[in-house]
Amino acid sequence: MSMTQNRVVLVTGGMGGLGETISTKMVDAGYKVAVTYSPGNSRHGEWVAQMKANGYEILAVPCDVTDINSCASAVARTQDELGPVDVLVNNAGITRDMTFKKMDKVNWDAVLRTNLDSLFNMTKQVADGMVERNWGRVINVSSVNGSKGAFGQTNYSAAKSGVHGFTKALALEVAKKGVTVNTISPGYIGTKMVTAIPEEVLNSKILPNIPVGRLGKPEEVAGLIIYLASDEAAFVTGANIAINGGQHMQ
């Protein structure tokens, strides 16, 4: 029996483009998987049914990642139905792009709360249990734009940069307890959000800046997460792994 068989993974924002691929690939790898969805998303029943029809048993729990009580409820429900969370993938994120000149407090706060406060709100629910069991993986999804900055993304770049600061500090605190904490920083991945970009912008502005010459595949990001969740990755902690086709090298 593979070691992954009884391990429980919780993926925030698991119904979106990248989150969905992470979730299905984790099921393929033998994990028991739960995803969170925004309480306002009425499609969740349909999504779960569609996944089941495709052979994926995935637990979907409502969760507002900006609200710590909602996160506590989502984790409690996951633990009741599947068992303690061994792997947390902090994937939920939004963009509210505009120049700083036009940026208002509402759009600043929305992005910081969803993309950064959510790490505290979710990880707080599972970190102590991981430490007690001497095994755990926290994998935080940042972005290439957290490392290099991006025009019109002061809010998003600040939040995604903050993700890695959180990773490094927490990694130090739990390192001796068999728990690793890492960041991955994807570049432009071919999700619905990115493929919605007008083709001429993609071809003239984005692809020429990616040395590999194409968008990344969600499966490639999921593969990296599966590695970081594995026993073989026990010596990788506090790392920020770029997965951007060579677009930005640190």
- Strands lying side by side in the sheet with 8-11: 58-62, 32-37, 8-11, 87-90, 136-141, 179-186, 240-243
Annotated active-site residue in 31, 37, 156, 188:
156
**CB neighbour class for 72 (10 Å; exposed up to 12, middle 13-18, buried from 19):** middle
Is 156 catalytic? The answer is yes
Q: Helices in 82-153 by DSSP H: which ranges?
A: 105-112, 118-133, 144-148
Q: Are strands 32-37 and 8-11 parallel, antiparallel or unpaired?
A: parallel
Contact 82, 57 (CB under 8 A): no
Question: Which residues sit opposite 216 in a β-bridge?
Answer: 189
Residue in this structure with the two tokens 């996944």, named with its chain if needed:
51
> Looking at the annotation, which residues are catalytic?
156
